[in-house]
Amino acid sequence: MPPRSKGAVLPAILIRVSQIWAENLSKRYPVALKEPGFVGTLQHFFRRRYRHVEAVRQVSFRIEPGEVVGFLGPNGAGKTTTLKLLSGLIHPSEGRVEVAGHEPFRREYTFLRKITLVMGNKQQLIWDLPAAESFRVNAAVYEIPEAEFRRRVGELSEMLGLTDKLHQPVRKLSLGERMKAELLAALLHHPQVLFLDEPTLGLDVNAQVAVREFLLEYNRRYRATILLTSHYMADITALCERVLVIHQGRLFYDGALSGLLERFAPYREVYLKLAVPMEQDRLERYGELRSLEGREARLLIQREQLVARVSQLLGELPLDDLEVREPALEEVIGKVFATGQA
């Protein structure tokens, strides 16, 4: 190679290492407008008018290989639409998206082998057949050799605690067991990217814990990238260090889960166990009183005032116990959704 001359400028090379990459991603849906009554029906039939609903608006983010990211938002915020855009089920109206080095909406075979989409309210298993038979269908679709198929089923079923349930008809499995079997079927081809839409929906506490532990172990073993939506804040706190928050189709927070608390909850919760019952008015002098039941009270106190207020409480009130806590994540998220402000 000849030496580069002094002052020569090398051409810029853009290298994208992000596993998931979205830039100004938007999705609009046309919705037909119809006036009431017979005349409105005729007009709707012959001269239809539409308005456009923006389900996702100018959303941009990057997710690196191996990250587990929570995707939060109220119902109708655009979470599921975004997952469908990322998995290639629908085409974006505007913007660009890349997942595992592919444009999702092209639905290339190599791309489909790298991803999976699991929706807690949908199922792919055949109701009247044992789960193992549905797994064989997936193995045929993904062209998994028999020996490798057996190895993967054995490994995943052991991780999920599902080994003795594989040959029971799906309809005889509990809801938690069915969700585990759905996960096994969705991960049989060892995808690099997991899109999980409410994977613990409707499960009891024990089943939720089992699914979370499995996802953590799967992420550890295979360095899989996971984007997870859930209304159960325990899922998010157990699995995710980073969260995306979407509201009315717009992304207005992308960062650490701890940063979400710092940014949207500039206070601490102080739990008091009083030595004697006390009037509400007296406690309200120290902070925002959230609850008072018998001798137990909860106060919200601004972070910058916390040390001074706790000193006052300890010095001025008869207390059996005092505990400073982070506010519940559900409460913080509720405030975010209520204001809709970044």
- Report residue 339's pLDDT band, with 50, 70 and 90 as the boundaries: low
How far is it, in rounded angstroms, from Cα 218 to Cα 224? Answer: 7
Residue 152 has pLDDT above 80, yes or no: yes
Superfamily of domain 57-261: P-loop containing nucleotide triphosphate hydrolases (3.40.50.300)
240-277 burial, b at 16+ Cβ within 10 Å, e below that, comes to bebbbbbbebbbebbeebeebeeebbebbbbebebeee
- Could you name the CATH architecture of 266-325? 2-Layer Sandwich (3.30)
How far is it, in rounded angstroms, from Cα 301 to Cα 334? Answer: 18
For residues 202-230, average pLDDT: 92
Beta strands across the sheet bearing 250-256:
115-119, 193-197, 225-229, 68-72, 242-247, 250-256
Q: Are the C-beta atoms of residues 153 and 146 closer than 8 Å to each other?
A: no
Domain boundaries, the chain: 57-261, 266-325
How far is it, in rounded angstroms, from Cα 136 to Cα 142? Answer: 10
**Residue carrying the six token digits 């157990």:** 238
Beta strands across the sheet bearing 296-302:
288-293, 296-302, 267-274, 319-325
pLDDT tens readout for residues 45-100: 788 888 888 999 999 999 999 999 999 988 888 999 999 999 999 999 999 999 99
Q: What is the pTM of this model?
A: 0.78
pLDDT tens readout for residues 12-44: 333 446 899 999 999 999 888 888 888 878 877
pLDDT tens readout for residues 254-268: 999 888 877 777 788
